[in-house]
Amino acid sequence: MAGISPDEIGTVTAGSESKPYAVGTIARHVASFIGMGQNVFVADLEGACNSGMQGVGFIDSEIRSGRIKYGLAIGADVAQAERGDPLEYSCGAGAGAFVLGRTDLIATIEDIAPFSSLFMDFWRRDQAAVPSHFGRTTVEAYKSHVIGAIANLFRKHPDLSLSEFDAITFHQPSGYLPMKTCAALTEDKIPYVEDESIAERMRLTEQDIEKKVKPWLKVLDTGNTYAASTLISLASVFDNSKPGDQVLAVSYGSGAYSNATWFEVQDGIEDKRGRTPTVEEYVKRKTTIKIETYQDLIRARLHRIKQRLEIPRLVGDVEPVNGKSFPLSLCYGCERIYFPAREKCLDSECTGKMEVKRYPLIARLKSVSKLPLKKRFTSNFELLDQNKVLFVDAKLQDLKPGVKLEGVLRRLDYEGKDGLIMYGIAYRPVFQETLALIARPKPLIIAPTQYA
């Protein structure tokens, strides 16, 4: 969508609190899934909800140093919370990502200022499924670090004043914390800022808050998306920006850490509009579920039951629309699915035959049915072996023969609590036509045999 080849991207960072592997990076998975090749720096970042925007900062430095040409910074999370905990009511899930580079820009990063201190307001111990927190302690931690980061930015730039920004967005665990912080910035004595000349420039009016902060409170639509939160609200700012706009994004992560990132919107924003769905379009694509369904889903997630299959599954046949395809491979020795395709099984003991299968990037639906109850133990490996595909993000009634589909990556299998997660291709109706036309990853090469 950025209009550049995946192999020009030199770094991927992924900030998350909900990593599928404790050891094993999201960043390398993404790099392989989108065909980036092997000459890539990859890192998953810690720092709670601040980690997504911290990736933006690290990649900005790598680009300025000349070490890489482009980088991809991701924040992605499925928020965790104890059942019945106040956190649970605002739980969300989401992802935001930006490609950074030197040319053809939608916005420039003018500067970034940090503020961090050891302030454990919220944490999750190793192997604990859900976080713990000191409740209202987060209000003080959040306010002091967000305000501290803005003050640090303003200390470096004596001409900046908060009310001159066109859009200001904050990390959004809820609507409450950003609003509470804004209220502090309207006070005569701004808390945590000793230097009056800086405090003076940080003051906001009620009108500023209405016009420059409230439109970007995406948490009201998405819930708390943890490390994705600031990237999503920033994307919604850019969806509505014009060249010359000054934008401030202040992220926050428990533990505690804030980055204040200052952007200036560039002319390139006009050309790139429409290349990706807007945040608003993603929000509109929602499906409402009943509380019982939510409870079933959350139970399955928290217990991490040894359930290899998603039930019910929609399976069927598709035909290619164009020549582009995803290759994946099936190992007939251990029945593992590999995406991207491999020549040889990862398990050195496994001597099974490896078969590469190709799946069209864009396809047309030929037939679909719900897997009958008596076949519910059929594995996704068996379905792929029978040349069937899986359908996701759609109800049976949305899947009429002839419907145009796009291939999307999904978890197709996982080997209990400790084993590998197997990713592969599933299909859904094309979300947005332009997206399907522009997002054309180059054909993926089969990864050569590697030894650790």
Query: Which CB sits closer to Zn ion, 132 or 351?
Result: 351
Residue 37's region, left for phi above 0, alpha for psi from -120 to 50, else beta, is: left
Query: Which CB sits closer to Zn ion, 218 or 344?
Result: 344
Is residue 91 part of the annotated active site? The answer reads no
Q: How far apart are CA 244 and CA 371, in angstroms?
A: 54
**Residues 262, 248 contacting (CB under 8 angstroms):** yes
| Element of type H or E holding 144 | helix 137-156
Nearest to 399 by CA among 313, 326, 322: 313
Alpha helices, DSSP H, located in 157-290: 176-184, 196-202, 206-208, 219-222, 229-239, 268-272, 279-284
Q: Minimum distance between the CB of residue 336 and Zn ion, rounded to whole angstroms?
A: 5
Binding site for Zn ion (CB under 5 A): 331, 333-334, 345, 350, 352
Query: Which CB sits closer to Zn ion, 359 or 381?
Result: 381
**Residues 13, 74 contacting (CB under 8 angstroms):** yes
Nearest to 307 by CA among 384, 414, 386, 221: 414
**Residues 254, 141 contacting (CB under 8 angstroms):** yes
Query: Which CB sits closer to Zn ion, 350 or 394?
Result: 350
The catalytically annotated residue of 145, 171, 331, 406 is 171
Q: How far apart are CA 276 and CA 268, in angstroms?
A: 14
Nearest to 439 by CA among 410, 403, 407: 407
Q: Minimum distance between the CB of residue 386 and Zn ion, rounded to whole angstroms?
A: 19
Q: Minimum distance between the CB of residue 350 and Zn ion, rounded to whole angstroms?
A: 3
Query: Which CB sits closer to Zn ion, 42 or 331?
Result: 331
Query: Which CB sits closer to Zn ion, 212 or 344?
Result: 344
Q: Minimum distance between the CB of residue 356 and Zn ion, rounded to whole angstroms?
A: 14
Query: Which CB sits closer to Zn ion, 318 or 328?
Result: 328
Q: Specify burial of residue 54 (Cβ count, 10 A radius: 0-12, 13-18, 19+).
A: buried
Is residue 17 part of the annotated active site? The answer reads yes
Q: Minimum distance between the CB of residue 349 and Zn ion, rounded to whole angstroms?
A: 9
For residue 112, the SS3 value is strand
Q: Minimum distance between the CB of residue 331 and Zn ion, rounded to whole angstroms?
A: 3
Q: How far apart are CA 441 and CA 35, in angstroms?
A: 7
Is residue 310 part of the annotated active site? The answer reads no
Q: Minimum distance between the CB of residue 332 and Zn ion, rounded to whole angstroms?
A: 8
Q: How far apart are CA 335 and CA 195, in angstroms?
A: 64
The catalytically annotated residue of 29, 49, 145, 406 is 49
Q: Minimum distance between the CB of residue 415 and Zn ion, rounded to whole angstroms?
A: 12
The catalytically annotated residue of 17, 29, 182, 406 is 17
Q: Minimum distance between the CB of residue 450 and Zn ion, rounded to whole angstroms?
A: 15
Q: How far apart are CA 44 and CA 54, in angstroms?
A: 11
| Alpha carbon of residue 331 to chain centroid | 30
Query: Which CB sits closer to Zn ion, 335 or 393?
Result: 335
Query: Which CB sits closer to Zn ion, 37 or 352?
Result: 352
Q: Spell out the residues 6+ positions from residue 387 whose beta carbon is closer than 8 angstroms to its own.
A: 317, 357
Q: How far apart are CA 271 and CA 260, in angstroms?
A: 27
Strand order across the beta sheet in which 41-45 lies: 41-45, 9-15, 70-78, 93-100
Q: How far apart are CA 78 and CA 72, in angstroms?
A: 20
Classify residue 138 by its DSSP letter. Answer: H
Catalytic residues: 17, 49, 171
